[in-house]
Amino acid sequence: MNTTRPDLLVVGSVAVDWIITPTAEREESVGGSATFFSMAASYFASVRLVGVVGHDFPQQTLKDFDDAGVDRSGLEIDPEGLTFRWKGRYHENMNDRTTLETHLNVFERFDPRLPAGHEASEYLFLANIQPSLQYQVFEKMKGPRLVGMDTMNLWIDIARDDLIKMVSKVDVLTINEEEARQLSGEHNLVKAARAIMKLGVKHLVIKRGEYGALLVDHDGHFFVAPALPLEEVFDPTGAGDCFAGGFMGYLSRRGVTPNGASLRTAMIYGSVMASFCVEGFSYDRIRGLSIAEIQERFHTFARLTDFSHAHLLD
């Protein structure tokens, strides 16, 4: 593995959430897809964050980005506006959640601008924002080596054509299980995956929450990454974005065109970062990890599915 850190550009939401879980509550919990992605990917790559926040955005998080080596020159701070805010309550199962309030604020007029040099980043992740904005950023790039994207049910509903246009351009799409069904119109997940890949995406990652994630690579091979069985899921917010951060971060760090083998290892690093994420509010557990901690959890994941392939029948 090379030791210079490649540039990984991420564009997405940066938010302040109000999180209510069955056991705890935090009123000012910094979130947003690009925040979680950046913090998780910062262990692997030189992350460049593009997004927008308001004057109310916590200074501490700006400092945390700096400490994590995240280049935030592309994070616009609007002195006139308020940060995107979301308030939600998780149900007992920690999987379903109810949105209580959404205030787009400065995010409503988000027009991603890339600071000079950003367009030459070799790796690009289009986190969950409006597909037309994702496309706008994509078009500004100068031939990135690898492009990943995420999306959500809202865009499948209201911007399907834009979404499909964007999907057709990317190397990796990460999507939730239910969204994969919604996008493809197929209930069976294998059929859903095949239909989505026909849209032009090279590799597909289907996120299954507490059941882990599924990879379908360009050759049609499946890989199943488990989720870590955790005694306490403190706050699931951002798990999918941290997964994407570990996944894209690892692929960027490897610096090769992803193949079956590197994609599989990337799936595990994604799962590792997601497993840390849910152990605390916001990016509390994703900040200040040691490489040794990440490696130890990687090995925990390895043990989780490891079995002898040698014991055959006779």
Cα separation, 32 vs 127, in Å, equals 9
Task: Spell out the residues 6+ positions from residue 94 whose beta carbon is closer than 8 angstroms to its own.
Answer: 21, 22, 210, 233, 236
Which stretch in 55-63, 72-80, 197-205, 258-266 sits in contact with a copy of itself by CB under 8 A? 258-266
String of b and e for 174-198 (b: at least 16 CB within 10 Å)? bbbbebbbbbbebeebeebbebbbe
Cα separation, 93 vs 232, in Å, equals 11
Q: Is 32 or 212 the residue whose CB approaches a copy of itself more closely?
A: 212
Q: Is 158 or 302 the residue whose CB approaches a copy of itself more closely?
A: 302
Among 93, 168, 257, 259, binds a copy of itself (CB under 8 A): 93
Which stretch in 68-76, 109-117, 276-284, 302-310 sits in contact with a copy of itself by CB under 8 A? 302-310
Burial class (CB within 10 angstroms; exposed 0-12, middle 13-18, buried 19+) of 108: exposed
Q: Does residue 267 touch a copy of itself according to CB under 8 A?
A: yes
Count the neighbouring beta carbons within 10 Å of the beta carbon of residue 14.
31
Task: Spell out the residues 6+ positions from residue 230 whose beta carbon is closer than 8 angstroms to its own.
Answer: 275, 278, 279
Cα separation, 257 vs 68, in Å, equals 26
Q: Does residue 164 touch a copy of itself according to CB under 8 A?
A: no
Q: Does residue 180 touch a copy of itself according to CB under 8 A?
A: no
Single-letter code of the amino acid located at 226: P
Q: Does residue 295 touch a copy of itself according to CB under 8 A?
A: yes
3-class DSSP state of 200: coil
Q: Is 52 or 242 the residue whose CB approaches a copy of itself more closely?
A: 242
Shortest Cβ distance from residue 13 to a copy of itself (Å)? 27
Q: Does residue 152 touch a copy of itself according to CB under 8 A?
A: no
Burial class (CB within 10 angstroms; exposed 0-12, middle 13-18, buried 19+) of 247: buried
Q: Does residue 101 touch a copy of itself according to CB under 8 A?
A: no
Q: Does residue 44 touch a copy of itself according to CB under 8 A?
A: yes
Q: Does residue 5 touch a copy of itself according to CB under 8 A?
A: no
Which stretch in 25-33, 125-133, 168-176, 264-272 sits in contact with a copy of itself by CB under 8 A? 264-272
Q: Is 11 or 70 the residue whose CB approaches a copy of itself more closely?
A: 70
Among 49, 201, 268, 274, binds a copy of itself (CB under 8 A): 268
111 is catalytic: no
Q: How many residues bind a copy of itself (CB under 8 A)?
A: 54
Q: Are strands 213-216 and 222-225 parallel, antiparallel or unpaired?
A: antiparallel
Q: Name the token pair of 24.
A: 């705890």
Among 189, 195, 199, 202, binds a copy of itself (CB under 8 A): 189
Q: Does residue 219 touch a copy of itself according to CB under 8 A?
A: no
Shortest Cβ distance from residue 266 to a copy of itself (Å)? 9
Shortest Cβ distance from residue 242 to a copy of itself (Å)? 16
Q: Contact, 43 vs 158, CB < 8 A?
A: no
List the one residue out of 229, 204, 201 whose CA is nearest residue 214: 204
Q: Which residues of this chain interact with a copy of itself, rule CB under 8 A? A: 1, 3, 43-44, 92-93, 187-191, 193, 208, 210-212, 214, 221-226, 229-233, 250, 253-254, 261-262, 264-265, 267-268, 291, 294-295, 298-299, 302-309, 311-314
The residues assigned a catalytic role are: 241
